[in-house]
Amino acid sequence: MYSKVSEPVDVLVAFKRGSVEPMTFKWGKRYYQVRKVNLIHSERRGREKITFFSVSDEANAYRLAYSSESMKWSLEEMAIL
Amino acid sequence: MLPPFSKKLIAHVDMNSYFASVEQQANPFLRGKALGVCSYLHEYGCVIAASIEAKRAGMKVGMTMKEARERVPGSVFVQNDPPKYRAVTSRVFTILHELTDSMEHYSIDEAFLDLTNWYRDSAEAAWALTRARARIRDEVGEWLRCSIGIASTRFLAKTASDLEKPNGLVIIDKYNLDEVLAGLDLEDVCGIGSRIRKRLERMGYKTLLEVKRAPIGNLMRVFGKQGLYLSCKLNGMEFEKVVNARSNLPKSIGHSYCVPDRVNREGKIEATLMRLTERAGRRMRNLGMRALQLSISVGFRVPGFVVPRGSFWSPLAGQGVFATKHFGVPVDDSFSLVGGALEFLRKEWKEELVNFLAVTLFDLSRPTGQLCFLDQAFTYPTWNDSVNDRLGDKRHSVSEAMEMIRNRYGEQAIMFGSMVSLSNEAPDRIGFRKTEGVDVTLLQ
């Protein structure tokens, strides 16, 4: 169902209505246009706070993660149907 | 003398097909599909939540993944993701907390709200709750749906919220109570199962309305005090208050794990038990509590044993052992807890194949600060039989230091040596009645 990816990605975000929303991300050599941010949730790993963005484009759903400690983005999972 | 019909205004909010709805919220391609959320993605993994579409097609919570797939061909399954559900619950509860100062986090997807004196009547409360529901849809996720029940007691509010699913809103008051109860089956309300039903039917009561009108003496003769409670509940009398979130502390904390063959093969039974005990201990320490007792269940795999059809399935139904340890004084340090658990395992386990492990900490209390004059005599000699008082103090200090390291660097930063080789065994699990980890932000 979900395939684990855990790879670093470049993300372009927008600060909208007081929150952050990923707009586009680059994974490998391809750009993915985020059509909708479906769910945002966070998880603590010690003092580090990881914020997960469940996003989707026209074809797939993805889970992006932002670490407050390392200030890095990664693509955690990709839904395969 | 029995209390009069309650004049309180209680609401019960129940998120519909919660885990499945959250998964469908996160992944829009799952919407409209028969989806099962499983504890493990294995053919014998249990379905812990089914989407509304799956329920309509016949999938039931508690089925194995194999059964669910046979019943609903084409259904999709995902593994549960506890942090996601806790985070969504936190956001939903934060919205609900704005309605009242008295709210009980009844479970991960249910809450009771005491709206007495906050709203004039049930119609005004219904308006406020409908607005809160719209906010949940707008601010948390458009796929999340909840049923709302409003009544004068917790029991009737819960009954009301179960009447219309999904996304219903039902009000029960003293004018429509009889009408509602007349339309319900005996087992449709919380607290009546198949065995109580049989006893009620033997007494000649076939509907809830008949039970409501039954003389209390008759019910008490059969059910004792519970008969009185049942009569009071059905007659709209309040004797259970909405317990505020902060004062609602658990009576026990536990973790369990269905052990796969892999763990037996790799000889990691002890390490898995340690991890379960550590998890339970950590949750207990986060609540600032200590345990006086610890119980352990170990289920053994018996080749060829099949649980009889129709009987209550239990991991110990094959063969297993269960024991309770009394520490003498309340303890919270890792060494005492893990030591107590391991001591029992080493005594009772003779290298059989294990298929189930569970640890429960109970008899919980907060530290009182009272010095124990008999500390030496009653301290439970755990980790090592040669333990003495001074070592006990050190044990406690080391445990506190480990706690600080975990708070800073995460759960896996420091652990007992035997646990290092454990990969994903005994992962974090979500329990419906577990509401720790659900943090709400209250308006100042």
Residues A67/B431, Cβ–Cβ less than 8 Å: no
A55 has pLDDT over 60: yes
Residue in chain B lying closest to A1 (CA): B78
Residues in A touching B409 (Cβ below 8 Å):
46-47
* pLDDT-above-70 percentage for chain B: 85
Which of A46, A56, A60 lies at the smallest CB-CB distance from B408? A46
CA dihedral B41, B47, B51, B56 (to 10 degrees): 130
Render B256-325 in DSSP notation, one character per residue. EEE--HHHHHTT-HHHHHHHHHHHHHHHHHHTT-EEEEEEEEEEE--TT--PPTTSPP-TTSSEEEEEEE
In order of B173, B185, B198, B443, the CA distances from B153 in angstroms are 10, 20, 26, 26
ipTM confidence score: 0.92
Between CA B72 and CA B58 the distance in angstroms is 7
CB atoms A41 and B84 under 8 Å: yes
Q: What angle, rounded to 10 degrees, do the helices at B122-135 and B82-97 form? A: 140
Report pLDDT for A81: 60
In sequence order, which residues have a C-beta less than 8 Å from that of residue B292 and are 6 or more positions away?
B326, B327, B329, B330, B331, B362, B363, B364, B365
- pLDDT band with cut points at 50, 70 and 90 for residue B390: low
Using CB atoms, pick whichever of B26, B27, B408 lies closest to residue A47.
B408
**Distance between CA B145 and CA B17 in Å, rounded?**
8
Distance from CA of A28 to the nearest CA of B (A): 22
Minimum-distance CB partner of B407 among A41, A46, A56: A46
CA–CA distance, B141 with B25 (Å, rounded to integer): 6
The answer to whether B26 contacts A54, with C-beta atoms less than 8 Å apart, is yes
By the 8 A CB rule, do B295 and B323 touch? yes
Q: Do A1 and B83 touch (CB under 8 A)?
A: no
CB B25 within 8 A of CB A38: yes
Taking contacts as CB-CB distances below 8 angstroms, the residues of chain A near B84 are 39, 41, 52
Residue B347 has a pLDDT of: 84
Residue B433 has a pLDDT of 59
Catalytic residues of B: 110
Distance from CA of B95 to the nearest CA of A (A): 16
Listed residue (B108, B111, B109) closest to B12, CA to CA: B111
Chain B residues within 8 angstroms (CB to CB) of chain A: 22, 25-30, 41, 76-79, 83-84, 87-88, 141, 406-411, 413
pLDDT digits (tens, 9 = 90+) for B420-443: 777 777 777 666 555 666 676 665
Is the CB of residue A39 less than 8 Å from the CB of residue B141?
yes
Distances in whole angstroms, Cα of residue A68 to Cα of each of A8, A49, A51, B189, B242: 15, 5, 8, 46, 37
Contacts of B29 in chain A (CB under 8 A): 56, 60-61, 79, 81
DSSP B412-425: TSS--GGGTT--SS
Q: With CB atoms and an 8 Å threshold, state whether A39 touches B141.
A: yes
Nearest to B23 by CA among B73, B79, B91: B79
Instruction: Please answer yes or no on whether A39 and B88 come within 8 Å at the CB atom.
Output: yes
More confident residue, A76 or B440: A76
Instruction: Say yes or no to pLDDT of A26 above 90.
Output: yes
Helices B334-348 and B389-409 cross at an angle (nearest 10°) of: 110
d(CA B167, CA B50): 16
B406 vs A2, A46, A48: nearest CB: A46
Contacts of B22 in chain A (CB under 8 A): 39
Q: Which residues from A are below 8 Å from B28, CB to CB?
A: 36, 38, 56, 61
Q: Which residues of A touch B23 (CB under 8 A)?
A: none
- For residue range B106-146, what is the model confidence (pLDDT) as tens digits? 889 999 999 999 999 999 999 999 999 999 999 999 999 99
Half-sphere exposure of B270 (CA within 13 A, CB side): 18
The CA distance from B368 to A23, in Å, is: 53
CA distance linking residue B152 with residue B156, whole number of Å: 7
Q: How far is A57 from chain B (nearest CA, A)?
A: 10
pLDDT value, residue B277:
92
pLDDT, position A54: 95
User: Minimal CA–CA distance to B269: which of B425, B77, B375?
Assistant: B425
Q: Are B362 and B290 in contact (CB under 8 A)?
A: no
- State the distance between the two ends of chain B, measured CA to CA, in whole angstroms: 41
The Cα–Cα gap between A63 and A4 comes to 10
In total, the C-beta contacts within 8 angstroms joining chain A to chain B are 57
Pairing of strands B146-151, B169-171: parallel
Domains of chain B with bracketed CATH: 10-15+85-234 (3.30.70.270), 18-82 (3.40.1170.60), 249-419 (3.30.1490.100)
Q: How far is B125 from chain A (nearest CA, A)?
A: 28
- Smallest CA–CA separation between A63 and chain B, in Å? 9
Give the sign of the dihedral formed by CA B285, CA B289, CA B295, CA B299. negative
Full DSSP string of B74-132:
T-EEEE--HHHHHHHHHHHHHHHHTT-S-EEEEETTEEEEE-BTTBSSHHHHHHHHHHH
- Condensed to tens digits (0 to 9), the pLDDT of residues B282-292 reads 889 888 888 99
Q: Which two tokens stand for residue A52?
A: 């997960």
Tokens of A57: 């484009």
Query: What is d(CA B439, CA B444) in angstroms, rounded to the nearest whole number?
Result: 15
Answer whether A46 sits within 8 Å of B410, measured CB to CB: yes
Q: Do A46 and B78 touch (CB under 8 A)?
A: no
pTM of the predicted model as reported, rounded to 2 decimal places: 0.82
Strands, sheet with A61-67, edge to edge from the N-terminal-most edge strand: A2-8, A73-79, A61-67, A48-56, A36-45
For chain B, give the mean pLDDT: 84
Q: Which of chain B's residues have a Cβ under 8 Å away from the Cβ of A41?
A: 83-84, 87-88
- Quick one: pLDDT at residue B312? 45
Contact B25 A39 (CB under 8 A): yes
Beta-carbon separation of A61 and B29 below 8 A = yes
Cβ–Cβ gap B76/A1 under 8 Å:
yes
Res B256: pLDDT:
86
Which of A16-25, B153-162, B396-405, B421-430 shows the lowest per-residue confidence on average (mean pLDDT)? B421-430
* A24 within 8 A of A53, measured Cβ to Cβ: no
Q: Min CA distance, A54 vs chain B (Å)?
A: 5
Contact B26 A45 (CB under 8 A): no
